[in-house]
A and B are shown apart, each in its own frame.
Chain A
Amino acid sequence: MLESYFIVLMLGIIYGFFVGLIPVAGATTGLIAIYSFVTFFQDPYMLVVFTTAIVVTSSIGDSFCGVVMNIPGAGGAAATMVDGFPMSRRGEAARALSAAISTSWVNGLIWGLAVFLFLPWYTQIVLYFGTVEMFTFLIFAMTCVIFVSSKYWFRGLIALILGVLVGRIGEDPVTAADRWTFGWDYLGAGVQIIPVMAGLLAFPELLSAYRMKAQNIKLTNGIIWGQLIEGVKDTWRWKWDGLRGGLIGGFVGLVPGIGGNIADWFAYSQTVAVSKKSPDSDEVPVGKGHVRGVIGCEGANNAQKATSYVPTVLFGIPGAPFEVIVMGLLMYVGLELGTPAVLADERFFDVLLSSYLWALVIILPISYGFIKYAVYITSIPFKYYFWPILASLVWSSTQYTGLLDDYIMLAICMGLGLAMKYFKFSRVSFLIGFILSYRLETTYVQFNTFGYGWEEILFRPAPAAFITLTVIAAIWGLFFNKAKIDFV
């Protein structure tokens, strides 16, 4: 039995690292691609092992694209390449990669232990988290998505509303009647999440990567080992930048919906700000190829992935877009996150903790030992990845009914994704609105049915805290957030 788990873990590690290396692929696309094979996991805990390994190792792999190719890694995150690629051009690619891997790894370990070791105890929180707490938490999460995640907050708001409306197509939870289906029976059970994720998020990025001009850097054996050691030393030297990045990533992961890109860029911007106060006179400034720029944003990487499991597991609310897929996959094998059955399942938590830690431990020597070959993988022209990835997206998106309707829905989502990217309407905001819409509506219905009002919102500790945070997030996002991201 144990050896079966180990084999699944290794497969997940290799697959995750590989999809991490592919430009713009990353955890989300990698997880969508395995949707069609989910039923082959007879033991649900094996799927926990497999998905966790993918999440951990894809984060390590996605640094390579930015550093070596000057192409954003997973999900369009580009912070690493700002300083990573100039370092590569100077012949310091291995140093940048080593610093990125070690920083990401250390923060992954710290935050992974903080989350997964104590997650079973955090489940007690759920018992104090009733309708009012959930309602205000959702408001807070959506506010963050609008005002913190994008430079164009008004377009973010529109995108979020659109996402909520699309998410509410299907069955009215109160009357149990069809809603906004326009006579198309296919929509009766709602718009499915996989075509939305694949068409809206993955496909436009895939197309962008296809058109991007990659620049390849080659590594030679002579300089690699020295640079790898130098990169580890850099991680120690600039440890506070890495740990600050981890802290930012850790916090961002706890708030549903504001995913890795926000954490990376925010951590990067803080590193830039701090570096201006304490410049390193011997080296180039951050932003022009300084290793601190790599360390600052990579600190947030795995930390954010670890903490995003907290809302996902405890409340069934995805802490990041990739967690939507993790939730969906685990639901297929009977593990519905956020439910008492899973919260009381000690084996689930044991498997989650051990697979996270083992994946982290195993990927370290792999990523260092195969660094040259990993760089080689990134040098394979993207056109060779494009078609297999596209095929896997289409395949996964059309497993709902397998009929023409699935293809039509995917085409609609792809068109919408391209349009939103072109006009800079935040697709992440849309997605979060889409995902949270059901909880938002049903929680609002419950709020009214139980007869709650302003009194409960303002005078219960947790709801009052969420409302305060909501106001702070809105004001900060509107007037003080200098790190707002032009990423949609």
Chain B
Amino acid sequence: MIKKMLIGVIAGFSMLATTAFAEITVVNPQKPGGGTTVWTEIIMKELEKHLGERIVLRNIPGARDIPGINKFHNELRFNENTIVVTHGGNGVSFLQEKVDYNYAEYDSIGLMNLNIIMGKVKGADMDKPKFAGTSGAVPEAFAIAMMICGPDKSIDYYIDCFKENVTWVMGMSGGERRLAFKRGDLTGSRENPATYQIHIAPDENAELWFHHGLLDPATGGHVDDPNFPGAQFEIQFEERYGVAPSGEFYDAYKLVKSFRDGLQKAIWVNKGNPELRDRLIDAMNKMVNDPESMAIIEAKNGKYEWFIGERGNQMRDTLMTFITEDALRNLVKFNKEALGLKSILKEDLFPQNR
């Protein structure tokens, strides 16, 4: 133990120096302790075993986890041995905030396609839900609006209907949100699959509401999550209204949920670095085929499919097809008028301008 501690202390003092000489550096846009940091630490530890090289985490935190990825894009991606990890929030920011990074300029090493699960208080009136809003919960707001207000309405109708029926409570941290849900102050809550099992599944007063489903990059459609069968938003919607969700508002929902959940956790390398890319993809394939590594990863993150190398690129390319001028306009309009967020319309993302 003492030996371990001493090694730790020495490693701490030499951290800056070792970063410079590390085999591979992974840029992480969060500070230590953040969700993506913890995820990256788990993955990199397992990946190292199959890569046979040391991987050093470099945290570059900042507002909404954007500066770290911007720095990778503008500067660090040109380093021979530097890669980056991104999360779903970065995907949403890419759509509605001024950022420098652009997924199209990177190759995918691997990504995990996650899902967000919604819980509700048993017996609560979910046509008048009380829900903790954050900038990361935009897809939930879209889904709730459609679930309450019905199929194929105009964007203005959805905005008015949402404002009239949904208590969208801003400024709650994850901990506050969970406590408020437990107290019944909130009637709905959202979790990733792993935290759903911890916070909602054991709660005898709570039950599954719906989930967003998993994006199939080959078809561009969302499919049911085998971990929560029958509860996908599209399935629930069709059961309630007799028709599948569609229309311009649904397109905006599909856009924002896919960029968040489809890129929930992703590892990228700059294009034009095939040697590093292939080395990492090879190690990643070995990792996902190693039951021991996957048991460790799944214990923390739940059991979800990995999209490695070309399949990751396919996911990214599929997501880009969801970006249309109307979908972006509706996304920004709903964010601003229904949720009060300061989103910007990024005209450079319109298909005709890309």
Contact = CB atoms under 8 A, between A and B. Distances in A.
A binds B: yes
A181 B62 CA distance: 12
A446 B171 contact: yes
B323 to A, nearest CB: 21
Contacts of A181: 63
A332 B176 CA distance: 18
Interface residues of B, number: 43
Interface centre among A39, A186, A443 (most CB of B within 10 A): A39
Contacts of B341: 175-177
B296 to A, nearest CB: 13
B180 A130 contact: yes
A173 B171 contact: yes
A173 B33 contact: no
Given A338-B175, A340-B182, A400-B31, A7 B2 contact: yes
A449 interface: yes
Contact of A38 (B2, B32, B130, B172): B32
A108 to B, nearest CB: 27
A127 B181 CA distance: 10
Given A130-B185, A188-B64, A401-B61, A176 B135 contact: yes
Interface stretch (B9-17, B146-154, B248-256, B310-318): B9-17
Contact of A400 (B61, B175, B340): B61
A441 B171 contact: yes
Interface string B154-189: 000000000000011111111110111011010000
A109 to B, nearest CB: 28
Nearest to A172: B342
Contacts of B220: none
A36 interface: yes
A442 B133 CA distance: 12
B342 A177 contact: yes
Contacts of A176: 64, 134-135, 341-342
Nearest to A41: B8
Contacts of B179: 126-127, 339-340
A354 B11 CA distance: 30
Contacts of A131: 180, 185
Q: Is the interface of A mostly helix, strand, loop or mixed?
A: helix
Contacts of B176: 442
A213 to B, nearest CB: 34
Contacts of A281: none
Contacts of B63: 170-171, 178, 181, 185, 187-189
A361 interface: no
Contacts of A401: 60-62
B183 A174 contact: no
A120 interface: no
Interface string A83-127: 000000000000000000000000000000000000000000011
Nearest to A336: B175
A340 B182 CA distance: 9
B207 to A, nearest CB: 17
Given A7-B1, A188-B64, A334 B33 contact: yes
B138 to A, nearest CB: 10
A445 B168 CA distance: 11
Interface in A35-86: 36-40
Interface in B1-60: 1-2, 5, 8-9, 11-12, 16, 31-33, 38, 60
Contacts of A174: 170-171, 340
B286 interface: no
B12 A40 contact: yes
B163 to A, nearest CB: 12
A449 B180 CA distance: 14
A178 B199 CA distance: 31
15 contacts: A40-B8, A126-B179, A127-B182, A128-B183, A173-B171, A177-B342, A187-B63, A336-B175, A340-B178, A401-B62, A442-B172, A443-B171, A449-B169, A450-B167, A450-B185
Given A11-B5, A172-B342, A442-B170, 20 more contacts: A8-B1, A37-B9, A131-B185, A170-B63, A173-B170, A177-B341, A177-B342, A178-B63, A189-B62, A339-B175, A340-B182, A341-B178, A341-B198, A341-B199, A442-B171, A442-B172, A442-B173, A446-B170, A450-B130, A450-B185
List the 4 shortest-distance A-B pairs measured between CB atoms, nearest first: A188-B63, A442-B171, A339-B175, A40-B8
Interface of B: 1-2, 5, 8-9, 11-12, 16, 31-33, 38, 60-64, 66-67, 130, 134-135, 167-176, 178-180, 182-183, 185, 198-199, 340-342
